[in-house]
Amino acid sequence: MGELHNLKRWLSMLRRTAEADPAANDVLTYQGNNQVEWSENLVVGGSLGIGAAPGSASEILSLTSTTAGFVLPRMTTVERNAIVAPVNGMMVYDTTVGAIYGYEGGAWVNI
């Protein structure tokens, strides 16, 4: 309940900021019903923990759950091949063939 309360406080603060400063909507838009839309890149320094605080200073992202899993971005083969300038290490789930693909050495590889 504490995490939900903190999220509601943060969203409330975000909504008030966006209403007071319309320029704040350039990146964040409060959609109501505790939903925020990100319309640009978001840069956060340090570590991000979802479900729990990061366990180590060397972590960039820590996901913790006993009831849910991480889902890669899902797209068709056509959409995957249309990604402009993919970087080595990029991963997606290809819904056309039902497989995880990683980008390495200039090509998509079925993992």
Q: What is the DSSP letter of 40?
A: S
CB-based burial label for 53 (10 Å; 0-12, 13-18, 19+) = exposed
d(CA 103, CA 45): 26
pLDDT digits (tens, 9 = 90+) for 38-83: 666 656 667 777 788 877 778 888 888 999 999 999 999 999 999 9
Is the model's pTM score more than 0.75?
no
Q: pLDDT grade, residue 97 (50/70/90)? A: very high
Q: pLDDT grade, residue 25 (50/70/90)? A: very low
Phi, psi dihedrals of residue 106, rounded to the nearest 5°: 85, 10
**Choice between 14 and 102, residue whose per-residue pLDDT is larger:** 102
pLDDT of residue 1: 44
Q: Which residue has the tokens 């990604």?
A: 83
